[in-house]
Protein backbone atom coordinates (compact mmCIF):
# COMPACT_ATOMS: atom_id res chain seq x y z
CA UNK A 1 0.00 0.00 0.00
CA UNK A 2 1.20 3.52 -0.78
CA UNK A 3 1.68 6.00 2.02
CA UNK A 4 -1.33 7.84 3.39
CA UNK A 5 -2.25 11.19 1.90
CA UNK A 6 -2.80 14.25 4.07
CA UNK A 7 -6.52 13.86 3.50
CA UNK A 8 -6.40 10.29 4.81
CA UNK A 9 -4.23 11.26 7.78
CA UNK A 10 -6.71 13.97 8.71
CA UNK A 11 -9.62 11.56 8.36
CA UNK A 12 -7.96 9.28 10.92
CA UNK A 13 -8.28 12.13 13.38
CA UNK A 14 -12.00 12.64 12.76
CA UNK A 15 -14.49 11.07 15.20
CA UNK A 16 -16.71 9.45 12.52
CA UNK A 17 -15.70 6.44 10.46
CA UNK A 18 -15.44 6.61 6.72
CA UNK A 19 -15.14 3.61 4.42
CA UNK A 20 -11.56 2.45 4.29
CA UNK A 21 -10.54 4.10 7.55
CA UNK A 22 -9.71 0.81 9.23
CA UNK A 23 -7.38 -0.05 6.35
CA UNK A 24 -5.61 3.30 6.72
CA UNK A 25 -5.36 2.80 10.47
CA UNK A 26 -3.83 -0.65 9.97
CA UNK A 27 -1.36 0.83 7.51
CA UNK A 28 -0.37 3.65 9.91
CA UNK A 29 0.35 1.07 12.59
CA UNK A 30 2.87 -0.79 10.49
CA UNK A 31 4.28 2.06 8.38
CA UNK A 32 6.90 4.05 10.24
CA UNK A 33 6.71 7.01 7.85
CA UNK A 34 2.95 7.37 8.09
CA UNK A 35 3.01 6.95 11.87
CA UNK A 36 5.61 9.71 12.10
CA UNK A 37 3.52 11.88 9.78
CA UNK A 38 0.49 11.35 11.98
CA UNK A 39 2.47 12.33 15.05
CA UNK A 40 3.70 15.50 13.34
CA UNK A 41 0.11 16.31 12.38
CA UNK A 42 -0.98 15.90 16.01
CA UNK A 43 1.90 18.07 17.17
CA UNK A 44 1.11 20.75 14.59
CA UNK A 45 -2.51 20.85 15.71
CA UNK A 46 -1.40 21.06 19.36
CA UNK A 47 0.95 23.92 18.50
CA UNK A 48 -1.86 25.73 16.68
CA UNK A 49 -4.04 25.44 19.78
CA UNK A 50 -1.16 26.70 21.91
CA UNK A 51 -0.62 29.89 19.90
CA UNK A 52 -0.94 32.96 22.11
CA UNK A 53 -4.27 34.75 22.35
CA UNK A 54 -4.15 37.96 20.31
CA UNK A 55 -5.77 40.96 21.95
CA UNK A 56 -7.20 44.12 20.40
CA UNK A 57 -4.86 47.10 20.40
CA UNK A 58 -7.60 49.58 21.22
CA UNK A 59 -10.40 49.63 23.73
CA UNK A 60 -13.51 50.23 21.64
CA UNK A 61 -16.13 49.39 24.23
CA UNK A 62 -17.28 53.02 24.55
CA UNK A 63 -17.91 53.12 20.80
CA UNK A 64 -19.80 49.84 21.02
CA UNK A 65 -21.96 51.24 23.81
CA UNK A 66 -22.83 54.33 21.75
CA UNK A 67 -23.80 52.11 18.82
CA UNK A 68 -25.84 49.79 21.05
CA UNK A 69 -27.69 52.73 22.65
CA UNK A 70 -28.41 54.31 19.29
CA UNK A 71 -29.63 51.03 17.85
CA UNK A 72 -31.91 50.46 20.82
CA UNK A 73 -33.30 54.00 20.64
CA UNK A 74 -33.84 53.73 16.90
CA UNK A 75 -35.67 50.45 17.37
CA UNK A 76 -37.97 52.16 19.90
CA UNK A 77 -38.61 55.00 17.45
CA UNK A 78 -39.58 52.51 14.74
CA UNK A 79 -41.80 50.54 17.12
CA UNK A 80 -43.45 53.75 18.20
CA UNK A 81 -44.24 54.66 14.64
CA UNK A 82 -46.23 51.44 14.30
CA UNK A 83 -48.00 52.19 17.57
CA UNK A 84 -48.77 55.66 16.19
CA UNK A 85 -50.81 54.12 13.42
CA UNK A 86 -52.95 52.48 16.08
CA UNK A 87 -53.43 55.79 17.83
CA UNK A 88 -54.39 57.51 14.59
CA UNK A 89 -56.92 54.78 13.92
CA UNK A 90 -58.38 55.18 17.41
CA UNK A 91 -58.73 58.95 16.99
CA UNK A 92 -60.28 58.49 13.54
CA UNK A 93 -62.76 56.01 14.97
CA UNK A 94 -63.73 58.47 17.67
CA UNK A 95 -64.34 61.14 15.02
CA UNK A 96 -66.45 58.80 12.91
CA UNK A 97 -68.48 57.44 15.82
CA UNK A 98 -68.99 60.76 17.55
CA UNK A 99 -72.10 61.80 15.50
CA UNK A 100 -73.84 58.52 16.33
CA UNK A 101 -73.57 59.31 20.00
CA UNK A 102 -74.97 62.80 19.64
CA UNK A 103 -71.77 64.80 19.30
CA UNK A 104 -71.65 66.25 15.78
CA UNK A 105 -68.33 65.84 14.02
CA UNK A 106 -67.27 69.38 13.34
CA UNK A 107 -65.59 69.98 9.97
CA UNK A 108 -62.61 71.32 11.91
CA UNK A 109 -62.16 67.97 13.63
CA UNK A 110 -62.38 66.11 10.35
CA UNK A 111 -59.75 68.43 8.90
CA UNK A 112 -57.56 67.84 11.94
CA UNK A 113 -57.95 64.10 11.48
CA UNK A 114 -56.90 64.36 7.84
CA UNK A 115 -53.89 66.40 8.83
CA UNK A 116 -52.98 63.86 11.51
CA UNK A 117 -53.14 61.02 8.98
CA UNK A 118 -50.97 62.98 6.60
CA UNK A 119 -48.40 63.84 9.29
CA UNK A 120 -48.16 60.22 10.44
CA UNK A 121 -47.60 59.20 6.82
CA UNK A 122 -44.81 61.82 6.54
CA UNK A 123 -43.28 60.49 9.74
CA UNK A 124 -43.17 56.99 8.28
CA UNK A 125 -41.63 58.26 5.04
CA UNK A 126 -38.88 60.06 6.94
CA UNK A 127 -38.18 57.00 9.07
CA UNK A 128 -37.93 54.99 5.85
CA UNK A 129 -35.35 57.43 4.48
CA UNK A 130 -33.27 57.17 7.65
CA UNK A 131 -33.63 53.41 7.72
CA UNK A 132 -32.41 53.19 4.11
CA UNK A 133 -29.36 55.14 5.13
CA UNK A 134 -28.90 52.58 7.94
CA UNK A 135 -27.33 54.85 10.57
CA UNK A 136 -26.67 51.95 12.98
CA UNK A 137 -24.08 50.51 10.64
CA UNK A 138 -22.34 53.81 9.82
CA UNK A 139 -19.33 55.24 11.46
CA UNK A 140 -20.03 58.90 12.20
CA UNK A 141 -17.80 61.62 13.57
CA UNK A 142 -18.13 62.74 17.17
CA UNK A 143 -19.90 66.02 16.41
CA UNK A 144 -22.51 64.37 14.19
CA UNK A 145 -23.03 61.66 16.81
CA UNK A 146 -23.72 64.28 19.49
CA UNK A 147 -26.24 66.12 17.28
CA UNK A 148 -27.96 62.86 16.25
CA UNK A 149 -28.10 61.70 19.85
CA UNK A 150 -29.66 64.97 20.99
CA UNK A 151 -32.36 64.72 18.31
CA UNK A 152 -33.01 61.07 19.14
CA UNK A 153 -33.36 62.00 22.83
CA UNK A 154 -35.94 64.64 21.92
CA UNK A 155 -37.75 62.08 19.77
CA UNK A 156 -37.86 59.69 22.71
CA UNK A 157 -39.37 62.47 24.86
CA UNK A 158 -42.03 63.25 22.23
CA UNK A 159 -42.82 59.54 21.88
CA UNK A 160 -43.26 59.27 25.62
CA UNK A 161 -45.65 62.25 25.58
CA UNK A 162 -47.56 60.68 22.71
CA UNK A 163 -48.12 57.57 24.78
CA UNK A 164 -49.79 59.74 27.42
CA UNK A 165 -52.13 61.31 24.87
CA UNK A 166 -54.30 58.21 25.06
CA UNK A 167 -55.14 59.06 28.65
CA UNK A 168 -56.32 62.58 27.84
CA UNK A 169 -59.84 63.82 27.49
CA UNK A 170 -61.22 63.12 24.02
CA UNK A 171 -61.69 66.82 23.22
CA UNK A 172 -58.03 67.71 23.67
CA UNK A 173 -56.61 64.35 22.62
CA UNK A 174 -56.71 65.02 18.89
CA UNK A 175 -55.19 68.50 19.13
CA UNK A 176 -52.43 67.31 21.42
CA UNK A 177 -51.70 64.33 19.17
CA UNK A 178 -51.51 66.67 16.19
CA UNK A 179 -49.10 69.00 17.98
CA UNK A 180 -46.82 66.16 19.07
CA UNK A 181 -46.83 64.41 15.68
CA UNK A 182 -45.91 67.75 14.03
CA UNK A 183 -43.00 68.05 16.46
CA UNK A 184 -42.01 64.45 15.74
CA UNK A 185 -41.93 65.07 11.98
CA UNK A 186 -39.82 68.20 12.55
CA UNK A 187 -37.32 66.19 14.58
CA UNK A 188 -37.22 63.38 12.00
CA UNK A 189 -36.57 65.98 9.30
CA UNK A 190 -33.65 67.25 11.35
CA UNK A 191 -32.35 63.69 11.72
CA UNK A 192 -32.58 63.15 7.96
CA UNK A 193 -30.54 66.34 7.52
CA UNK A 194 -27.91 65.09 9.93
CA UNK A 195 -27.56 61.61 8.42
CA UNK A 196 -28.58 61.62 4.80
CA UNK A 197 -27.39 65.08 3.82
CA UNK A 198 -24.09 64.50 5.56
CA UNK A 199 -23.72 61.16 3.76
CA UNK A 200 -24.25 62.87 0.40
CA UNK A 201 -21.76 65.61 1.21
CA UNK A 202 -18.99 63.11 1.98
CA UNK A 203 -19.91 60.94 -1.00
CA UNK A 204 -21.14 57.67 0.61
CA UNK B 1 -17.01 22.86 29.73
CA UNK B 2 -16.54 26.43 28.63
CA UNK B 3 -12.96 27.46 28.00
CA UNK B 4 -13.98 31.04 28.68
CA UNK B 5 -16.51 31.81 31.35
CA UNK B 6 -18.58 34.75 32.40
CA UNK B 7 -18.46 34.94 36.17
CA UNK B 8 -21.95 34.87 37.67
CA UNK B 9 -23.62 34.47 34.28
CA UNK B 10 -27.01 33.73 35.89
CA UNK B 11 -27.08 37.20 37.40
CA UNK B 12 -25.47 39.05 34.51
CA UNK B 13 -27.51 37.70 31.58
CA UNK B 14 -30.93 39.03 32.68
CA UNK B 15 -29.33 42.45 33.13
CA UNK B 16 -27.79 42.26 29.66
CA UNK B 17 -31.23 41.38 28.29
CA UNK B 18 -32.63 44.47 30.03
CA UNK B 19 -29.97 46.61 28.34
CA UNK B 20 -27.95 47.38 31.49
CA UNK B 21 -24.67 48.94 30.24
CA UNK B 22 -22.63 47.65 33.20
CA UNK B 23 -23.77 44.09 32.53
CA UNK B 24 -23.05 44.49 28.83
CA UNK B 25 -19.53 45.56 29.71
CA UNK B 26 -19.07 42.51 31.97
CA UNK B 27 -20.11 40.25 29.11
CA UNK B 28 -17.89 42.12 26.68
CA UNK B 29 -14.83 41.94 28.92
CA UNK B 30 -15.32 38.21 29.52
CA UNK B 31 -15.24 37.35 25.81
CA UNK B 32 -13.42 40.28 24.21
CA UNK B 33 -10.05 38.51 23.91
CA UNK B 34 -11.25 35.14 22.55
CA UNK B 35 -13.59 36.81 20.06
CA UNK B 36 -10.85 39.15 18.86
CA UNK B 37 -8.36 36.29 18.68
CA UNK B 38 -10.72 34.21 16.54
CA UNK B 39 -11.44 37.19 14.28
CA UNK B 40 -7.77 38.14 13.99
CA UNK B 41 -6.77 34.59 13.07
CA UNK B 42 -9.36 34.55 10.29
CA UNK B 43 -9.25 38.14 8.99
CA UNK B 44 -6.28 39.58 7.26
CA UNK B 45 -5.97 42.86 9.14
CA UNK B 46 -6.25 44.00 12.75
CA UNK B 47 -8.79 46.64 11.64
CA UNK B 48 -11.05 43.96 10.16
CA UNK B 49 -10.74 41.92 13.34
CA UNK B 50 -11.69 44.95 15.46
CA UNK B 51 -14.74 45.53 13.27
CA UNK B 52 -15.72 41.87 13.65
CA UNK B 53 -15.39 42.26 17.42
CA UNK B 54 -17.79 45.23 17.33
CA UNK B 55 -20.26 43.53 15.01
CA UNK B 56 -20.21 40.37 17.11
CA UNK B 57 -21.12 42.16 20.32
CA UNK B 58 -23.74 44.34 18.62
CA UNK B 59 -25.35 41.08 17.47
CA UNK B 60 -24.90 39.49 20.91
CA UNK B 61 -26.63 42.41 22.66
CA UNK B 62 -29.34 42.48 19.99
CA UNK B 63 -30.05 38.74 20.16
CA UNK B 64 -29.32 37.89 23.79
CA UNK B 65 -33.04 37.35 24.34
CA UNK B 66 -32.86 34.38 21.99
CA UNK B 67 -30.08 32.68 24.00
CA UNK B 68 -31.95 30.09 26.05
CA UNK B 69 -28.99 28.77 28.00
CA UNK B 70 -29.29 25.20 26.73
CA UNK B 71 -25.78 25.36 25.24
CA UNK B 72 -22.70 27.15 26.48
CA UNK B 73 -22.67 30.93 26.32
CA UNK B 74 -19.17 30.97 24.87
CA UNK B 75 -20.26 28.47 22.20
CA UNK B 76 -23.11 30.79 21.22
CA UNK B 77 -20.93 33.91 21.17
CA UNK B 78 -18.24 32.04 19.24
CA UNK B 79 -20.67 30.96 16.53
CA UNK B 80 -21.76 34.59 16.06
CA UNK B 81 -18.10 35.69 15.94
CA UNK B 82 -17.21 32.98 13.39
CA UNK B 83 -20.11 33.94 11.12
CA UNK B 84 -19.21 37.62 11.33
CA UNK B 85 -15.55 36.90 10.54
CA UNK B 86 -16.48 34.71 7.57
CA UNK B 87 -18.93 37.35 6.34
CA UNK B 88 -16.11 39.87 6.51
CA UNK B 89 -13.92 37.52 4.44
CA UNK B 90 -16.63 37.20 1.81
CA UNK B 91 -17.31 40.93 1.79
CA UNK B 92 -13.67 41.85 1.33
CA UNK B 93 -13.15 39.16 -1.29
CA UNK B 94 -9.48 38.81 -0.45
CA UNK B 95 -7.45 37.71 -3.39
CA UNK B 96 -6.08 34.26 -2.86
CA UNK B 97 -2.72 35.20 -4.35
CA UNK B 98 -0.56 33.19 -2.00
CA UNK B 99 -2.39 30.03 -2.85
CA UNK B 100 -2.29 30.73 -6.56
CA UNK B 101 1.45 31.35 -6.49
CA UNK B 102 1.96 28.14 -4.61
CA UNK B 103 -0.02 26.15 -7.13
CA UNK B 104 1.70 27.65 -10.13
CA UNK B 105 5.27 28.20 -9.04
CA UNK B 106 7.61 25.62 -7.64
CA UNK B 107 8.66 26.25 -4.07
CA UNK B 108 11.54 28.70 -4.01
CA UNK B 109 14.85 27.41 -2.75
CA UNK B 110 14.99 29.80 0.20
CA UNK B 111 11.59 28.51 1.33
CA UNK B 112 12.91 25.02 1.75
CA UNK B 113 15.87 26.29 3.71
CA UNK B 114 13.83 28.64 5.84
CA UNK B 115 11.79 27.08 8.58
CA UNK B 116 8.99 29.48 9.11
CA UNK B 117 7.47 29.75 12.52
CA UNK B 118 3.90 28.61 12.85
CA UNK B 119 2.49 32.15 13.18
CA UNK B 120 4.13 33.21 9.92
CA UNK B 121 3.11 30.03 8.13
CA UNK B 122 -0.49 30.42 9.26
CA UNK B 123 -0.47 34.03 8.12
CA UNK B 124 0.78 32.94 4.74
CA UNK B 125 -2.11 30.60 4.06
CA UNK B 126 -4.96 31.92 1.93
CA UNK B 127 -7.73 33.50 4.05
CA UNK B 128 -10.12 30.65 3.29
CA UNK B 129 -7.63 27.92 4.18
CA UNK B 130 -6.59 29.77 7.31
CA UNK B 131 -10.22 30.12 8.38
CA UNK B 132 -10.83 26.39 7.90
CA UNK B 133 -7.66 25.44 9.80
CA UNK B 134 -8.52 27.73 12.68
CA UNK B 135 -12.18 26.76 12.93
CA UNK B 136 -11.45 23.03 12.68
CA UNK B 137 -8.17 22.50 14.49
CA UNK B 138 -8.40 25.19 17.16
CA UNK B 139 -12.06 26.03 17.70
CA UNK B 140 -13.13 22.43 17.22
CA UNK B 141 -15.86 22.88 14.62
CA UNK B 142 -16.71 19.86 12.46
CA UNK B 143 -16.45 19.96 8.67
CA UNK B 144 -20.26 19.95 8.52
CA UNK B 145 -20.45 23.02 10.73
CA UNK B 146 -17.71 24.82 8.81
CA UNK B 147 -19.37 24.00 5.50
CA UNK B 148 -22.67 25.45 6.78
CA UNK B 149 -21.01 28.62 8.03
CA UNK B 150 -19.03 29.10 4.83
CA UNK B 151 -21.96 28.15 2.62
CA UNK B 152 -19.79 25.52 0.95
CA UNK B 153 -19.75 21.74 0.84
CA UNK B 154 -18.24 19.38 3.40
CA UNK B 155 -15.72 18.16 0.84
CA UNK B 156 -14.66 21.77 0.23
CA UNK B 157 -13.88 22.14 3.92
CA UNK B 158 -12.00 18.83 4.00
CA UNK B 159 -9.92 19.60 0.93
CA UNK B 160 -9.07 23.09 2.20
CA UNK B 161 -7.84 21.57 5.45
CA UNK B 162 -5.75 18.92 3.71
CA UNK B 163 -4.17 21.45 1.36
CA UNK B 164 -3.48 23.82 4.23
CA UNK B 165 -1.74 21.11 6.27
CA UNK B 166 0.31 20.03 3.28
CA UNK B 167 1.52 23.61 2.94
CA UNK B 168 2.11 24.14 6.62
CA UNK B 169 4.16 20.94 6.72
CA UNK B 170 6.29 22.16 3.84
CA UNK B 171 6.75 25.70 5.14
CA UNK B 172 7.60 24.46 8.60
CA UNK B 173 10.25 22.15 7.16
CA UNK B 174 8.47 19.05 8.44
CA UNK B 175 8.47 17.08 5.22
CA UNK B 176 10.12 13.73 5.48
CA UNK B 177 11.88 12.29 2.45
CA UNK B 178 10.09 9.12 1.39
Q: Which domains does chain B have, with CATH numbers?
A: 9-92 (1.10.1740.10), 97-171 (1.10.10.10)
**A180 and A105 co-located in one domain:** yes
Tell me how close the Cα of A52 comes to any Cα of chain B, in angstroms.
9
Tell me whether residue A54 is in a domain.
no
User: CA-CA distances (angstroms) from residue B148 to A16, A73, B141, B156, B160?
Assistant: 18, 33, 11, 11, 15
**A118 and A157 co-located in one domain:** yes
Alpha-carbon gap, residue B64 to B73, rounded angstroms? 10
**A23 and A124 co-located in one domain:** no
Alpha-carbon gap, residue A15 to B141, rounded angstroms? 12
Q: From A31, which residue of chain B is nearest by alpha-carbon distance?
A: B178
pLDDT the model gives residue B115: 57
Tell me whether residue A1 is in a domain.
no
Indicate yes or no: CB of A61 within 8 angstroms of CB of B119. no
Q: Length of chain B in residues, anyone? A: 178
Give every residue of chain A whose pLDDT is below 70, as ranges: 1, 16-18, 80-106, 135-140, 197-204
For residue B154, is pLDDT > 60?
A: yes
**Percent of chain B's residues with pLDDT above 70:** 83
Q: Read off the pLDDT of residues B17-76 as tens digits, 9 standing for 90 and up.
A: 998 999 999 999 999 999 999 999 999 899 999 999 999 999 999 999 989 887 889 999
Contacts of B124 in chain A (CB under 8 A): none
Indicate yes or no: CB of B36 within 8 angstroms of CB of A6. no
How many domains is chain A built from?
2
pLDDT the model gives residue B51: 94
Chains A & B: contacts with CB separation below 8 Å: 94
Q: Is B8 left (phi over 0), alpha (psi -120 to 50) or beta?
A: left
pLDDT the model gives residue B110: 43
Alpha-carbon gap, residue A81 to A100, rounded angstroms? 30
**A106 and A137 co-located in one domain:** yes
**A97 and A34 co-located in one domain:** no
B→A interface, C-beta within 8 Å: 19, 21, 24-25, 28-29, 32-34, 36-37, 40-41, 46, 49-50, 53-54, 57-58, 61-62, 118-119, 122, 133-134, 137-138, 143, 158-159, 161-163, 165-166, 168-169, 172, 174, 176, 178
For residue B104, is pLDDT > 90?
A: no
Neighbours of A129 (CB within 10 A): 15
Domain encompassing residue A195: 61-201
- Reported as a pLDDT band with limits 50, 70 and 90, residue B112 is very low
**A79 and A41 co-located in one domain:** no
DSSP assigned state of B140: -
Any alpha helices (H) in chain B, and if so which ranges? 9-17, 21-42, 46-63, 73-92, 97-104, 109-113, 118-124, 127-133, 143-150, 154-171
**A44 and A65 co-located in one domain:** no
Contacts of A135 in chain B (CB under 8 A): none
For residue B113, is pLDDT > 60?
A: no
Tell me how close the Cα of A19 comes to any Cα of chain B, in angstroms.
15
Tell me how close the Cα of A77 comes to any Cα of chain B, in angstroms.
16
pLDDT the model gives residue B41: 95
A53-57, B107-111, B126-130: which has the minimum mean pLDDT? B107-111
Contacts of A7 in chain B (CB under 8 A): 158-159, 162
Q: From A36, which residue of chain B is nearest by alpha-carbon distance?
A: B176
For residue B1, is pLDDT > 60?
A: no
Tell me whether residue A185 is in a domain.
yes
**A96 and A129 co-located in one domain:** yes
Tell me whether residue A158 is in a domain.
yes
**A29 and A74 co-located in one domain:** no
**A94 and A134 co-located in one domain:** yes
Alpha-carbon gap, residue A95 to A113, rounded angstroms? 8
- Reported as a pLDDT band with limits 50, 70 and 90, residue B153 is very high
For residue B137, is pLDDT > 50?
A: yes
**A15 and A85 co-located in one domain:** no
**A90 and A153 co-located in one domain:** yes
Q: Using alpha carbons, select from B112, B113, B138 the residue that is nearest to residue B41.
A: B138
Amino acid sequence: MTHLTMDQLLTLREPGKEPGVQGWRDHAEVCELCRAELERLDQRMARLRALPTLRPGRNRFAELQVRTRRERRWRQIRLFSLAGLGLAAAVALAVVLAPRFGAPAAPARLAEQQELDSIIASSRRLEGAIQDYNPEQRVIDGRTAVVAQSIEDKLARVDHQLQLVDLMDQRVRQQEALRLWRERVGLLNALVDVHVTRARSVGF
Amino acid sequence: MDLYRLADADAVLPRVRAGDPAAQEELYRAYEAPVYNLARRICRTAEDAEDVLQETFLEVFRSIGRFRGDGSLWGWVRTIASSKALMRLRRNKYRETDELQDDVLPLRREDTALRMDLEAALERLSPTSRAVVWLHDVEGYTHEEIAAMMQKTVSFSKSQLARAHTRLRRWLGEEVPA
